[in-house]
Amino acid sequence: MPQEIPLVAYTNAETVGGAERCLATILAGLPPSFRVTVVATDAAVGRTVAAGCVAAEVASVQPPRRFWDARAVAVHRHLLKRLDPHLCLINLHTPYCALHAALAAVLIPSLRVVAIEHLPLPSRSRAAHWLKRVTSRRLAGHVAVSAHTAEAIAEEAGIARERMLVVRNGVSEPAAGKSAPGLTRPIIGGMGRFDRQKGFDVLIDALATLPGVSAVVAGDGPERDALMRRASDRSVTDRFSIVPWTSEIGPFLRSLDVFVLPSRYEGLPLALLEAMATATPIVAADVGAVSEAVISGQDGLLVPPDDAPALAAGIRRLLEAEGERKRLGAQAREAWRSRFTAERMQQSYVDLFTRLAH
């Protein structure tokens, strides 16, 4: 094995979300024998991903202008050949988000390419399907963040399930402390990007049927104004609050009586794992790999997605049963400690990269 392992980590994300936070955690856990370059189509995202990795460099590359963009493939391939890594890690926040980079990477015979699949969203494009299948067959390592994601991607990419390696997401111990939201208790809440996927509109609809309950969500996104209008339409503006997302999310989570994940679809969300790590009682929509982390009635409560009455019923049940809240929160923290720590995830990737570098 070489004394130094040059590794390129690629992301074409336009903003920092869960997939990019996960990539940053992976890179931060690599030993000094890895020489890391983060290649990004957005320089600010690249700098954020590289921030926790000692001595990591950042390189920018222009994104494709259209689907059939041979020049983009050539530019990506030229950059990779110039950097001359032994390993290329492609971070896929959706299965079809970095096909040009994946194609450029697998066209370099000496390069070992690993892809991480976070969110198994399908595509209707036959061309995208074809290119996904071509690149997937040439990967040296194909990682999914959950068993659910692995099964969906294997079918989407037309490969055997056995070729998918499951490395579940992990998070560090959230910062200590407890914030003061300035709302009347009990307080429920969640965090994430404000778009349809995250289902905060469902949370607002549930809140409308929970008199005396306050809700706070941490984050931002394109549906921020729409959420505030919905809160006004449901007459809950005095009980609904939005606060900025912060990387030190522990005090926010511990301020909640119940953490709510109302998403319509997910991979294995970091917000859920962080709530588990802080022992915050959880009511979550049963989507994606949520049930791989939370067993309903044991570590939290799971309800059908896009169902405000069911969400409200789950929240009401926990708010009315302090003993059950404490029990579920404590057991969720134990599940995080045994299965979803950042250290466990990091070591799995170090083992994989070291094996591939032989």
Instruction: Centre a 10 Å sphere on the Cβ of residue 136 and count the other Cβ atoms it contains.
Output: 22
Domain check: are 54 and 153 in the same one? yes
Nearest CA-CA partner of 106 in 79, 134, 69: 134
pLDDT score at 247: 81
| Tokens at 167, concatenated | 């490395």
| Tokens at 240, concatenated | 């609904």
Per cent of the chain over pLDDT 70 is 99
Residue 1 confidence class, pLDDT cut points 50, 70, 90: very low
Domain check: are 195 and 327 in the same one? yes
Q: Is residue 152 part of a domain?
A: yes
**According to DSSP H, which parts of 234-301 are helical?**
250-254, 270-277, 290-293
pLDDT score at 2: 52
pLDDT score at 130: 96
pLDDT score at 358: 80
Residue type, 9: A
117-156 tens-digit pLDDT: 999 999 999 999 999 999 999 999 999 999 999 999 999 9
Cα–Cα distance measured from residue 176 to residue 155, given in angstroms and rounded to the nearest whole number: 42
Domain check: are 285 and 335 in the same one? yes
Structural domain for 213, as ranges: 187-339
147-156 tens-digit pLDDT: 999 999 999 9
Cα–Cα distance measured from residue 158 to residue 126, given in angstroms and rounded to the nearest whole number: 13
pLDDT score at 30: 97
Q: Is residue 179 part of a domain?
A: no
Tally of domains within the chain: 2
Cβ partners under 8 Å of residue 189, min gap 6: 181, 215, 216, 217, 218, 252, 255, 256, 258, 259, 260
Domain check: are 57 and 203 in the same one? no
- H or E element, residue 99: helix 99-106
For residues 180 and 90, the model is more confident at 90
Q: Is residue 178 part of a domain?
A: no
Question: CA-based angle 195:196:200, to the nearest 5?
Answer: 80
Q: Is residue 177 part of a domain?
A: no
User: Is the pLDDT confidence value at 245 over 70?
Assistant: yes
Domain check: are 214 and 326 in the same one? yes
Domain check: are 10 and 115 in the same one? yes
Dihedral sign (CA 69, 73, 74, 78)? positive
**Residues of 244-262 as b/e, b for ≥16 C-beta within 10 angstroms?**
ebeeebbbbbbbbbbbbbb
User: Is the pLDDT confidence value at 273 over 50?
Assistant: yes
Domain check: are 107 and 241 in the same one? no
Computed over every residue of the chain, the mean pLDDT equals 96
323-349 tens-digit pLDDT: 999 999 999 999 999 999 999 999 999
User: Backbone dihedral region of 165: left (phi > 0), alpha (psi from -120 to 50 degrees) or beta?
Assistant: beta
Residue 182 confidence class, pLDDT cut points 50, 70, 90: confident
| Tokens at 299, concatenated | 């570590």
Per cent of the chain over pLDDT 90 is 95
Cα–Cα distance measured from residue 266 to residue 245, given in angstroms and rounded to the nearest whole number: 19
